[in-house]
Structure 1
Amino acid sequence: MNTITSKPKRWRTAFWKASLGVFAFLSCNEEFPNRLSFDQEYQDPGVQETQYKVAYVVLEGGVGTIVAGQATDYGMMPTLGDLYLRSVTSWNSVSTANKDELTAYADLLTGVEYPKHQVVSQGDPVNLENFPTLFSRVKQQSNARTAFITANRTLAPLVSETDLDQYQVLTDDQQVTANAVDELARDDVAVVVATYKEVDDIGLSQGYTSEAYLQALNRFDGQLNELVSTIRARENYISERWLIVVASSTGGRYTLRPELDDGSIFAETERNNFVVIHNPQFVFRLVERLQTNDPAWMSSAVRYTGNQGKATIAAENASIYNIEKNKEYTIQMKVKVHSYGNADQTIFSKRSNTAGSQEGWAFMLVPDPNEGTIDGKPSRGLVRFKVAGVGDAEAIADVELETWYSFIVRVYIQGGKQYATIFRDGVEYKTSEITGAQGVSNDPLQLGYAPGYAQALPSQSHSIADIRIYNVAQTVDHVKQAYCSTMATPGSDPYYDNLIGYWPGDDNGTELRDRTANNRHFVLEGNYAWNDFSERAATLCPTLPDNPEHFVLRTVDVPRMIYSWMNFKGIEQFNLDGQIWNPNFVSNQ
């Protein structure tokens, strides 16, 4: 099994830590924009479509990890550093595999990769009719003003003047800045793309780690400051919705120190670009790279609190998750308990109420006050799997606070009877016969609070991630060996095709997305919060995904984000390769 790691970036100066804390405090007083999820079509009736605006700044040859150091560690790119604190960002993004500049530009302007757009500098066939640039898409959907301002004369095969209101090919970056400032100051501005080439020119001639290259990054940041200052000085800036994207087209070739070269795709410096997507009301979100040594599980999870927070799949879409007679299943999830209540608490269920005789099944947290308390609340307990009409299967070992555990229930047929066995971290605990169980219900599938023995537990809190339901009983040996995996992929999970529901639970939006073809998504409601984490433990063995570059924000994702920001309809019909990276928004509520 391959493993991954990811370490949170450690800033070298107290200044940036303090800045982030100040931002988190001040941003609570900002106006909440009511846009909750980029992966849903959205229309705020209080905001006109023309108020959604985009500035897309492309830095050629900006090596992501080097730019990160200058922007966050050393303060030599203060403008980018400021945008970063209110953004969704990846410094370890990965550009096009063929390392071709025109291909990289096609990715970041069309939202699809080479197999679809077929753009390379050598003049291979170009498929922009089926996969046009964002300028063409904008013109198809609205009358919004678009501008493309560049000093790169090699982009002519990619950008058509007929798709733009303003198309300028200039001599140098200084002219790009001056003309972009003029465009950004216009009342009718909507989408401005400006590209910068001096940094890459100096990297090619003097090296991407040279002092001249670092000085060029600092000059670019000054030019970026002129653009950002122009936007913020607009008369109606407060009522406008600006999305500012700063990204590099590619990285640059240089030799990594041996201790940094792990042989992965992230060690290819020519492909190490970056993406920063900023709005003043975004909560800081850093999407880190996947590492290949020093194993860690880096993800996000919802924290459910009290008797309100929950995630639900409506009953009409949840029937496939019943436990039917004479059928086999494997149900698993990872749970971290932050605080126990003083009674049994349902945490994952297809059962309307665990206190009565209602049909269905449920996982429950059961506190044990005899094992000690913290602030008057139990510090340990167990997880129980309960099917209506029969006894419980229980993981009777201690379930301590602030520790991720993997709980797996194996439902199997043996000798004409149906059984359920619960495992904690690969250890087999109680087995119960459930032949006479009533595991079929007309209830929703639900994570978090559900009615039961506990009707009000305001202090109870737990996180859930990596939820999977299979329509097969995995072998006991497989359960004991693979319980620690944190991701299901076709290459790592021999039962992948048996998944009928798979929710990594790392979406950072208002839904938990089902990664199977069933597309049964949990909808979040009530008292919940997203938390990013990086965990290492003997009971966690993160699995390297098949395409690790898809787990960082990339330039091919940017057009998809722009279309959502501008409230485009029918985006799924564009057949884009880009993904959605939902930010959280600050709120004064």
Structure 2
Amino acid sequence: MKKNIRSVFNIKTISAAFLLGFILLHSACNKNFDNVLPKSFRNDTLGLGNNSKKVLYIILDGVKGSVVSSLAPANLTQITNNAIFSYDGVADYQRNTITNAAAWTTMLTGVDYTKHNVSTEAFTGLNLQTTPTLFSGIKSSLGNVRTVSLASTAAFNDNLAADATVKQTLADDAAVKTAVIAELGAGNPSLLVAQFHSAEVAGMANGYTGSTTAYTTAINTLDGYVGEILTALRARKTYAQESWLVVVASNKGGAATSGGAPGSNIYADDSRNTFVAFYNPKFKPNAINKPDVTNLPYAGVGAKFNATNGAVQSDANFLNLGTNIEATIRFNIRWDGSAGNSGYCAILQKRGLTNGITGGVPGWAFIKDDGGIISFNASFTGTTGNSQAKGPTSQKLDDGKWHAVAVRFFNNGATHTASMFVDGIPAQTANLGLTAGNGNLNSPSPLQFGKYTNVDCFITEFAVYNIAIPNADIIAASKKTPLTPITDPYYNNLVAYFKTSEGVGNVLNDALGKAPAMNLVGAANWTNYADISPNLSPAISEAAFKAVPNGVDIPVLIYNWLNIAAPAQWSLMGKFYAPVVSYPTN
């Protein structure tokens, strides 16, 4: 051996027929913003009817959700009383540098840059034939209805509003507000989009923080505009006969830098943090908060190993380390057995031990040791004793938590050496020389998990690398799980990765297909586990970032509100947020 060196779920756009099917009907009346629906109101699933359902879509560029939360501006706060809303929204769940153009395109097409191809402010790659905007989708579905785009940024209208009935680029945000009020007063839009850019300008120049006066002033000014627009909305002569969905959403957040490394926490990327509210005066409030991604359980199904149940490698030569082979082994373990040394049982071994830690039996083993710690123990051909590195006393298996164990075999000059770590903490003997006798670690006995008196544990993610990974990298990666090409810089050096998560059968397979299988002996004891451990940090899946409103989710609800069943070829990536509402009949 030598050195050669996103629980995701699928989202389907729900057709308009489901909108009222997901809504709970209650008898209530919200007095702060009256919009009484007529008794004759019905869900028009085919998009037919009198066009009473309308959408006001207010886009606030660069307004961070966290800053809106701390500022609590009056009007944005007020609408959350009747909205599905989040201060933890994300522009998207990607890790590239985000731009205004990419964020706008996502919000209007319902797909992110991996499909609409826009990543720069130049809109390079945009193809509205394959990823139509809301304006295009409404035009093709509803025909001759009025759609309006009022923007303070020319690029927004020039690139995304070609199919709007009316598009107008205004001098500034104040002019956009005035134009929106005028449209609400005299027009009859089915979709009215208003794009405001002043907070982005202030944030870019001064910083996107709650302590930046220019930025917070811009947000408060926009909040005032929102209030004026909502006042104009309810002043419409036909308002009582209409049903308006009001969407107020940031296109993105803001930060000095944007994006992150593969596998990084998107919630930590302030450039993607957004405020999103789906408002109607009949909606019940529904605050959607981000999950705690720093405290995820290590969960799965695994083979439980004990005195009679174990796993044995089918190739006895696998992991013979000889006198100078360099390698790294790592695995996770949860001990459920007795406390203390548990009779010095061999938990995991390639040695052939059957009773205690008999010296002179060549090979290596991880044993339960005094005080409930785990130790690495080795003996060699032609010797009568053992060489041992005791694990750190702070990391006792007896605590019932998951622990991450690794041992590095390397040549320190002419000395074959082993360094063990438990949860990234070095063993009491940091470098164990493997030179007693002839120092040969080879054993005729195969690799074995469990099947040893007093053993009671899970062993998961047993991995073998063909290099001695540097100590610093072992320590840095000790909590990472699972091992993937994204999370593990040494993934290409893996020669075996037994996840032990099959859940059925009597065989443990190498997930890479490189190493021979291990056979379960005794009764296969597949058992579920889901434990939070300070010693393991499970990878954050895409599902964690889809748990809050994303930019791609907005068109899904808009289409549903307008009774448009989005065709499959639009490939919408968002999910449907079903409102819980009260329908008054007075």
What's the TM-score once normalised by structure 1's chain length?
A: 0.50
Instruction: Please name the residue that 1:582 is paired with.
Output: 578
Instruction: Please name the residue that 2:98 is paired with.
Output: 99
Contact 1:79 1:221 in 2 (8 A): yes
The alpha-carbon distance between structure 1 residues 69 and 165, as it changes in their structure 2 partners (threshold 3 A), is same
The alpha-carbon distance between structure 1 residues 88 and 572, as it changes in their structure 2 partners (threshold 3 A), is farther
Match of 2:255 among 244, 253, 256: 253
Matches within 5 A, 1:122-141: 122-141=122-141
Instruction: Please name the residue that 1:229 is paired with.
Output: 231
By how many angstroms is 1:188 displaced? Answer: 1.9
Contact 1:60 1:249 in 2 (8 A): yes
Distance 2:133 2:35 in 1: 34
What letter matches 1:586 in structure 2?
S
CA RMSD of aligned residues (A): 4.2
Sequence identity percentage: 27
Instruction: Please name the residue that 2:245 is paired with.
Output: 243
Instruction: Please name the residue that 1:117 is paired with.
Output: 116
Contact 2:157 2:169 in 1 (8 A): no
For each residue in 1:307-351, what CA deviation from the matched residue of structure 2 results, as whole angstroms up to 9, or x when unmatched?
xxxxxxxxxxxxxxxxxxxxxxxxxxxxxxxxxxxxxxxxxxxxx
Distance 1:168 1:199 in 2: 20
The alpha-carbon distance between structure 1 residues 241 and 176, as it changes in their structure 2 partners (threshold 3 A), is same
Distance 2:256 2:189 in 1: 39
Distance 1:294 1:544 in 2: 10
Instruction: Please name the residue that 1:400 is paired with.
Output: none
Contact 1:35 1:44 in 2 (8 A): no
The alpha-carbon distance between structure 1 residues 144 and 477, as it changes in their structure 2 partners (threshold 3 A), is farther
Name stretches of at least 5 consecutive residues in structure 1 with no aligned partner: 5-22, 72-76, 257-261, 298-425, 427-470, 486-535
Instruction: Please name the residue that 1:78 is paired with.
Output: 74
Instruction: Please name the residue that 1:13 is paired with.
Output: none
Distance 2:50 2:297 in 1: 43
Contact 1:94 1:272 in 2 (8 A): yes
Matches within 5 A, 1:300-319: none
Contact 2:107 2:251 in 1 (8 A): yes
By how many angstroms is 1:574 displaced? Answer: 2.3
Instruction: Please name the residue that 1:277 is paired with.
Output: 278
Deviates more, 1:563-572 or 1:62-71: 563-572
The alpha-carbon distance between structure 1 residues 60 and 86, as it changes in their structure 2 partners (threshold 3 A), is same
Distance 1:80 1:31 in 2: 22
The alpha-carbon distance between structure 1 residues 160 and 583, as it changes in their structure 2 partners (threshold 3 A), is closer
For each residue in 1:147-183, what CA deviation from the matched residue of structure 2 results, as whole angstroms up to 9, or x when unmatched?
111111222552244x122111111111000001111
The alpha-carbon distance between structure 1 residues 46 and 585, as it changes in their structure 2 partners (threshold 3 A), is farther
What letter matches 1:578 in structure 2?
G
Instruction: Please name the residue that 1:520 is paired with.
Output: none
Distance 2:270 2:60 in 1: 15
Deviates more, 1:282-291 or 1:182-191: 182-191
Instruction: Please name the residue that 1:155 is paired with.
Output: 156
Distance 2:540 2:176 in 1: 41
Deviates more, 1:473-482 or 1:47-56: 473-482
| Structure 1 counterpart SS, 2:179 | helix
Instruction: Please name the residue that 2:65 is paired with.
Output: 64
Contact 2:63 2:253 in 1 (8 A): yes
The alpha-carbon distance between structure 1 residues 101 and 34, as it changes in their structure 2 partners (threshold 3 A), is farther
By how many angstroms is 1:288 displaced? Answer: 1.1
For each residue in 1:48-87, what CA deviation from the matched residue of structure 2 results, as whole angstroms up to 9, or x when unmatched?
441001100000000011112222xxxxx11111111111
Contact 2:60 2:251 in 1 (8 A): yes
Matches within 5 A, 1:159-558: 159-161=160-162, 163-209=163-209, 210-253=212-255, 264-294=265-295, 480-482=527-529, 484=530, 544-558=540-554
Distance 1:573 1:123 in 2: 22
* 2:561 pairs with 1:565: yes
Instruction: Please name the residue that 1:306 is paired with.
Output: none
Distance 2:186 2:526 in 1: 61
Matches within 5 A, 1:8-23: none
What letter matches 2:283 in structure 1?
F
For each residue in 1:438-465, what CA deviation from the matched residue of structure 2 results, as whole angstroms up to 9, or x when unmatched?
xxxxxxxxxxxxxxxxxxxxxxxxxxxx
What letter matches 1:247 in structure 2?
A
For each residue in 1:505-535, what CA deviation from the matched residue of structure 2 results, as whole angstroms up to 9, or x when unmatched?
xxxxxxxxxxxxxxxxxxxxxxxxxxxxxxx
Q: Which structure has the larger Rg over C-alpha atoms?
A: 2
Name stretches of at least 5 consecutive residues in structure 2 with no aligned partner: 1-5, 9-25, 299-456, 458-501, 507-522
Instruction: Please name the residue that 1:336 is paired with.
Output: none
| Structure 1 counterpart SS, 2:291 | coil
Distance 1:139 1:478 in 2: 59
By how many angstroms is 1:186 displaced? Answer: 2.6
For each residue in 1:179-222, what CA deviation from the matched residue of structure 2 results, as whole angstroms up to 9, or x when unmatched?
01111123522111001111111111111120221121111000
Distance 1:240 1:295 in 2: 45
Contact 2:59 2:250 in 1 (8 A): yes
| Structure 1 counterpart SS, 2:546 | helix
Distance 1:236 1:30 in 2: 10
Distance 2:582 2:533 in 1: 32
Distance 2:289 2:552 in 1: 17
By how many angstroms is 1:477 displaced? Answer: 7.7
By how many angstroms is 1:295 displaced? Answer: 5.5
Instruction: Please name the residue that 2:54 is paired with.
Output: 53
By how many angstroms is 1:88 displaced? Answer: 0.9
What's the TM-score once normalised by structure 2's chain length?
A: 0.50
For each residue in 1:337-370, what CA deviation from the matched residue of structure 2 results, as whole angstroms up to 9, or x when unmatched?
xxxxxxxxxxxxxxxxxxxxxxxxxxxxxxxxxx
Distance 2:86 2:99 in 1: 21
| Structure 2 counterpart SS, 1:579 | coil
For each residue in 1:260-312, what CA deviation from the matched residue of structure 2 results, as whole angstroms up to 9, or x when unmatched?
xx962101011111211111111111111122235599xxxxxxxxxxxxxxx
The alpha-carbon distance between structure 1 residues 60 and 124, as it changes in their structure 2 partners (threshold 3 A), is same
What letter matches 1:108 in structure 2?
M
For each residue in 1:403-423, what CA deviation from the matched residue of structure 2 results, as whole angstroms up to 9, or x when unmatched?
xxxxxxxxxxxxxxxxxxxxx
What letter matches 2:188 in structure 1?
D
Distance 1:296 1:218 in 2: 40
Distance 1:112 1:46 in 2: 23
What letter matches 2:195 in structure 1?
T
What letter matches 1:234 in structure 2?
R
What letter matches 1:568 in structure 2?
I
Distance 2:286 2:219 in 1: 23
Distance 1:224 1:24 in 2: 28
Contact 2:36 2:240 in 1 (8 A): no
| Structure 2 counterpart SS, 1:158 | helix
Instruction: Please name the residue that 1:408 is paired with.
Output: none
